[in-house]
């Protein structure tokens, strides 16, 4: 306890929840390789909880910890209350307001008439990492930029596997159907919805939006509308959104698609090509030389309809999710998109308001005047 300061989250003995952070899960929380029978919605514990709990190696060295172990003990809690509504439900550490899809759509707890940012994670992401990313997004999207109410972040949890990329890739389509159901519930509750996807989560999101028929016209606020898809480090081929690609942009049910890419992403430069090789062989097509959309953007291709690309190589050094979330270039575009669906009286920045109503987004990287800052990456 002497290593845990008053300003850390680790000293809390009970879960901490906020109505601005939710999880929608189509997998058992503690399992990464198969689907659950249906969707589960809940508010996660906002404290950072060590996945090893009381078996954490750092606890064994608590009497004489290294600097890294001391920081770990300051940031992470090593106990977690467990919610188990019945014997058939997998345990959800520290969760609150747990409900199924029907209860979520017709109950009063899930966000309604708000701006919601849905976060779709990529390959081999554990539960606590997804929660941490949701917290990181919430910290980047502050009430000062988007009004007193801010934005609700909903993390979408799907069976992304821990080691088998090919199995995770094969589950993207079914996960997309669960994500589509999640979007339907959010829209039915009058929310303005944006999607932020990373890596293989981009493939899940594209499956969810492909030929997803939403009644039109839809007002921009308080009556349910699906606005932008923001993709970072997209683990899909560079031509995926083209007319002849797997996910033609004209068939995707969103107003705008932003593609953020970084030429520094070595994971997409090497592992992605191998990951696409075996599916290509099974379909008798040679795609081992496929370039990832998240590595070079659309490259030399004609930019598809309603798509915009942004080179964030100067602020993103590798593939890790938190580095993308901390990119000032990407966050600036994200804030402008979210500001378009916030109530006009809540937008604090005149500059943000003026840019938000301007729909003439450039087809290259967007230059936006923002203050430089250093964002500390969450563990």
Strand order in the sheet with 40-43: 96-100, 40-43, 21-25, 152-157, 115-120, 192-198, 225-232, 256-261, 307-311
**Helix (H) / strand (E) containing 116:** strand 115-120
- Helix pair angle (172-188, 201-209), 10° resolution: 60
Q: How many residues does the chain have?
A: 379
Beta bridge partners of 152: 116
| Tokens standing for residue 177 | 């159907």
Q: CA-CA distance, 35 to 335, in Å (whole number)? A: 33
Per-residue pLDDT of the chain (379 residues; tens, 9 = 90+): 233 344 444 445 577 888 999 999 999 887 889 999 899 999 998 877 776 777 788 887 767 788 888 888 777 777 665 554 544 344 677 788 888 898 888 888 899 888 999 999 999 998 888 998 999 998 888 766 565 567 899 999 999 998 888 899 999 999 999 999 999 899 888 899 999 999 999 999 999 999 886 554 443 434 578 899 999 999 999 999 999 999 999 999 999 999 999 999 988 888 787 777 765 444 444 443 478 999 999 988 899 999 999 999 999 999 999 999 999 999 999 999 998 876 544 333 343 334 333 334 443 333 322 322 223 333 3
């Amino acid at each position: 306890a002497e290593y845990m300061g008053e300003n850390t989250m680790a000293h809390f003995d009970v879960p901490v929840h906020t109505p601005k952070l939710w999880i929608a899960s189509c997998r058992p929380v503690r399992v990464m390789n198969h689907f659950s029978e249906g969707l589960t919605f809940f508010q996660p514990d906002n404290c950072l909880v060590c996945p090893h709990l009381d078996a954490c190696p750092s606890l064994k060295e608590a009497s004489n910890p290294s600097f890294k172990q001391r920081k770990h003990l300051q940031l992470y809690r090593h106990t977690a209350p467990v919610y188990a509504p019945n014997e058939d439900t997998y345990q959800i550490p520290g969760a609150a307001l747990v409900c199924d899809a029907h209860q979520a759509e017709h109950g009063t707890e899930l966000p309604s008439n708000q701006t919601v940012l849905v976060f779709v994670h990529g390959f081999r992401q554990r539960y606590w990492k997804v929660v941490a990313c949701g917290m990181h997004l919430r910290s980047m999207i502050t009430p000062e930029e988007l009004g007193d109410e801010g934005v609700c972040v909903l993390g979408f949890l799907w069976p992304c596997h821990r080691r088998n990329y090919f199995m995770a890739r094969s589950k993207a389509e079914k996960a997309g159907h669960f994500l589509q159901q999640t979007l339907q519930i959010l829209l039915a509750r009058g929310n303005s919805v944006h999607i932020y996807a990373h890596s293989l989560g981009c493939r899940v999101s594209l499956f969810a939006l492909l030929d997803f028929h939403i009644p039109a016209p839809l007002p921009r606020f308080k009556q349910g509308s699906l606005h932008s898809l923001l993709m970072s480090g997209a683990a899909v081929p560079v031509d995926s959104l083209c007319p002849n690609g797997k996910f033609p942009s004209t068939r995707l049910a969103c107003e705008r698609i932003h593609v953020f890419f970084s030429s520094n992403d070595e994971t997409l430069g090497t592992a992605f090509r191998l990951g696409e090789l075996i599916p290509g062989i099974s379909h008798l097509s040679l795609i081992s030389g496929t370039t990832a959309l998240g590595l070079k953007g659309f490259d030399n291709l004609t930019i598809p309809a309603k798509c915009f690309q942004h080179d964030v190589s100067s602020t993103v050094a590798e593939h890790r999710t938190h580095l993308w979330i901390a990119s000032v270039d990407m966050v600036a575009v994200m804030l402008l998109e979210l500001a378009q669906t916030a109530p006009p009286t809540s937008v604090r920045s005149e500059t943000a308001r003026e840019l938000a109503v301007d729909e003439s987004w450039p087809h290259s990287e967007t230059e936006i005047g923002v203050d430089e800052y250093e964002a500390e990456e969450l563990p």
